[in-house]
A and B are shown apart, each in its own frame.
Chain A
């Protein structure tokens, strides 16, 4: 049982990092990025192709992250421009549909060009004992990266001027403009950053199991569930939800079967909406 829970925490930290990007992008501009997982896979496939071409793991991974970030930035500056010109419901719906289209395009192109490509980042070495459970080095490294990046992210948002500017746009776009903050710049940078984080999750996932070219939809759904359970727009909520859902995931996979995990996770998300509409750590009226 302990090993199962530990695996759940490992998985959950990565879920958290996956959900964070989706949640912040939604909070900023009302765009529910349904291509989140596909951008992650895109980064992973660029890294895999670089690895195939003989690049070192570090170079390959950095190239993959940069590619995902660049595409995210580009999408914001082009496809999403008409979205941000609208307000309220039309903005949410148009953003959702366009990003769903992007998801299909990325899935289609990658599946057509590289149907059997997969990213594997092997972390060598014997398992390390953690409280009596032998943990694979890949799992530990993946968790360390997720925790480290998550901490940097929280610190960035809380303490830096740029981070406060991001939060101010989430809180009140007009107020931010009156302070001299350009919401369009903030949104573009954050969508780029969220794509980088998503690709990073694909990379850390590949440390324990291969990430295949068709993994995008699963990652998108996971990110969506994490963001909903954590409360859309809440960073700490996304991490809390990630860990919780990670444990739910491994426990249900271990005791019931992996085929039901997605259903169990969706059930958990639905339950959260009923019980706490603003998310685990939600402040009620946000």
Chain B
């Protein structure tokens, strides 16, 4: 479904991500593990069209999307949930969700599905998005992305700023979506959560993919254990 080949990208002519290749197949849940500054956000921004890659190709369902702008990529069914959210703070929760369905009118079934997943959003329907707590804003960002009925969901550190209990809840919601067949690519520092959700994973370090394998293999890998799981 998503094929990334030899992707390099960065800012001001300085690559942050170097020659990254990987694939995500339909109904997969794939984790990209890496510490702060490893290049996860840069990689995701390059995939979803917010950043022009300096080299390499990205294909979504066989369609090259490397030269497309973010709004065009979004319309193909690739929804990106950025770590810094980019909600519409003065608009209501309902309006934020409705815009997720753009350019179509929001479907009632879709909205019900999202509100079932995040009941808190239903309670705050009329409230301005900017007045929500951090956890609620995170739910809204995921909910908005889901409103378009995407075929691939890209999440950049969905647990940023969440208390451990909320982070676990967020991942439970993602697992439910995955069980329904949604393809997920998630970048995460909270490795145990990510590996529990994902079938497979990649370790991104210093802008390069270093290790890949099934979640079980990664959890067993000495490098992952030392660097991300805190096991000596």
Contact = CB atoms under 8 A, between A and B. Distances in A.
A164 B69 contact: no
A283 B131 CA distance: 13
Contact of A172 (B48, B69, B88, B100): B88
A180 B88 contact: no
A286 interface: yes
B98 A177 contact: no
Contact of A179 (B69, B90, B100): B100
Contact of A168 (B79, B82, B91, B145): B91
Contact of B71 (A161, A164, A181): A181
A175 B91 CA distance: 12
B86 A172 contact: yes
Q: Could you tell me the dominant secondary structure of chain A's interface residues?
A: helix
B99 interface: yes
B69 A182 contact: yes
A187 interface: no
Interface in A159-201: 161, 164-165, 167-168, 171-172, 174-183
Interface in B121-148: 144-145, 148
A286 B90 contact: yes
Pick from B72, B87, B91, B145 the residue with the most CB of A within 10 Å. B91
Nearest to B128: A283
Interface string A105-123: 0000000000000000000
A175 B71 contact: no
Given A177-B69, A178-B74, A164 B86 contact: no
**How big is the A interface, by class?**
10 to 19
Contacts of A179: 71, 74, 99-100, 102, 144, 148
Nearest to B148: A180
Contact of B105 (A161, A167, A180, A183): A161
B113 to A, nearest CB: 17
A178 B80 contact: yes
Contacts of B144: 179
Given A167-B88, A171-B89, A172-B87, A178 B95 contact: no
Contacts of A283: 90
Interface of A: 161, 164-165, 167-168, 171-172, 174-183, 283, 286
18 contacts: A164-B98, A164-B99, A167-B91, A171-B88, A172-B87, A175-B88, A176-B71, A176-B99, A177-B71, A178-B71, A178-B74, A179-B74, A179-B99, A180-B74, A181-B71, A181-B103, A182-B69, A182-B71
